[in-house]
Amino acid sequence: MKVVWVRFVSFKLRGLRRVPTGAAFVLAGFVAAGSSIALGESKPSKSGSDVETIKVVAHPIAAFDREDAGKTRFGKLTWRGGLVLTSPSLNFGGWSGLALDAEGKKLFALSDAGTWMTGEIAYAGGKPAGLESVRLGPIRSLSGKTLHRKRDHDAEGLALVKGSPEKGSVLISFERKHRIGRFDIGEDGLSAALSYVDLPAAAKSMKANRGIEAVAVLRGGPYKGSLVALAENLPDPSGNHTGWLWVKDKPLAFHLTNPADFDITDAAGLPDGSLLVLERRFRWNEGVKARLRLIRRDELQPGARIEGETLLEAGMSREIDNMEGLAVHTGPAGEIIVTMISDDNFNRLLQRTLLLQFAVDGADLAHARP
């Protein structure tokens, strides 16, 4: 349970809670001096193969904007509500991948500590109100063994291929030991790995902790059903993000521009074949930022250099943390509901597990940029 700021830095400085800038620099000084300051808990590896039922406590987030509680419109997104999630379970945390069912209720999430989570989002007045019937279990290898080593169990991306979070099939990306695995979901939770996707040759150039952070399956358009993956940080010579679109099972590269130098954290396919991409940035003098961008289906082509459109950029004046998981579903009026979850790095002193929801009119996403 020894965690120091040096370790926190090694996890890519994935965000702070609302820590004053001066305090951040003071702590940075301790890092430079090599001091050991315990700020949280180490990331546990899910021991054994048992599935456990846990309690999750949810505290509502009244407003997304800390400085203007009445503000609900953020670019093309409308704030629906959010939760701060806590649990007495030592295995709760580190959520890096997210999938929801068609109604936005059944949930499946992945932790980069090698744990999966199922549950159901409860709603009140159209806003998230709690997380119920929560179970945790271990991610397992092809041989059925629990993944204990960090280099094996660092799950980062999740895509629902077919079915639902209760019964279906998913793709899971891992970094450090880079791979994308195929798994099934059933009554007993997540199956052992079934097989692995052939990766592009460029994946060999990814740094251990900068691997495939985002995976998604396109839900419409000319490449419907195709896998899309993006590296957290694999810049081309111009500093653009690197991603791949699998066409006839062959990964073909594309690049996404990266203004202001963000890292990729997740992606989710939209019904029309477009793609949402979630990004994160950390700087000592500004804290953590989150950015949500849209790649329209006509832009998403092998070999393309894609500009995309920024739908949301939020800093420490908003209720964000290290936002790493992204899922979408269609609301009752046809609107697109965007759900995000944060990875607290098991650093419970400075970070939080947040579940945030926004709505966006599908017509707004279809309109070209001005």
Q: Residue 154's domain is classified under what CATH number?
A: 2.115.10
Residues 6+ apart with CB under 8 A from 216: 159, 227, 228, 229, 267, 268, 269, 275
Is 19 inside any structural domain? no
Is 1 inside any structural domain? no
- Three-state SS at 360: strand
pLDDT of the residue at 352? 97
Is 208 inside any structural domain? yes
pLDDT of the residue at 273? 96
pLDDT of the residue at 24? 41
Which domain covers residue 72, as residue numbers? Answer: 44-366
pLDDT of the residue at 22? 36
Is 357 inside any structural domain? yes
Question: Residues 74-103, buried b or exposed e (16+ Cβ, 10 A)?
Answer: bebbbbbbbbbbbbebebbbbbbbbbbbee
Q: Dump pLDDT digits (tens) for 206-254.
A: 998 899 999 999 999 999 999 999 999 999 999 999 999 999 999 999 9
What are the structure tokens assigned to 116, written together?
């999966």
Helix (H) or strand (E) holding 110: strand 106-111
- Distance, CA of 236 to CA of 157 (rounded, Å): 21
- Contact call for residues 243 and 229 (beta carbons, < 8 A): yes
- Contact call for residues 208 and 176 (beta carbons, < 8 A): yes
Q: Dump pLDDT digits (tens) for 259-284.
A: 999 999 999 999 999 999 999 999 99
Is 193 inside any structural domain? yes
Burial class of residue 364 (count of CB atoms within 10 Å of its CB; 0-12, 13-18, 19+) = middle
Q: Dump pLDDT digits (tens) for 13-29.
A: 433 433 433 334 333 33
Q: Which residue has the tokens 């949930």?
A: 107
Is 29 inside any structural domain? no
pLDDT of the residue at 170? 98
- Total number of domains constituting the chain: 1
Is 105 inside any structural domain? yes
List the one residue out of 13, 126, 67, 23 whose CA is nearest residue 314. Answer: 67
pLDDT tens digits in sequence order for the chain, 370 residues long: 222 223 333 334 433 433 433 334 333 332 333 333 234 456 776 555 589 999 999 999 999 999 999 999 999 999 999 999 999 999 999 999 999 999 999 999 999 999 999 999 999 999 999 999 999 999 999 999 998 888 888 999 999 999 999 999 999 999 999 999 999 999 999 999 999 999 999 999 999 889 999 999 999 999 999 999 999 999 999 999 999 999 999 999 999 999 999 999 999 999 999 999 999 999 999 999 999 999 999 999 999 999 999 999 999 999 999 999 999 999 999 999 999 999 999 998 999 999 999 999 988 887 655 4
Is 181 inside any structural domain? yes
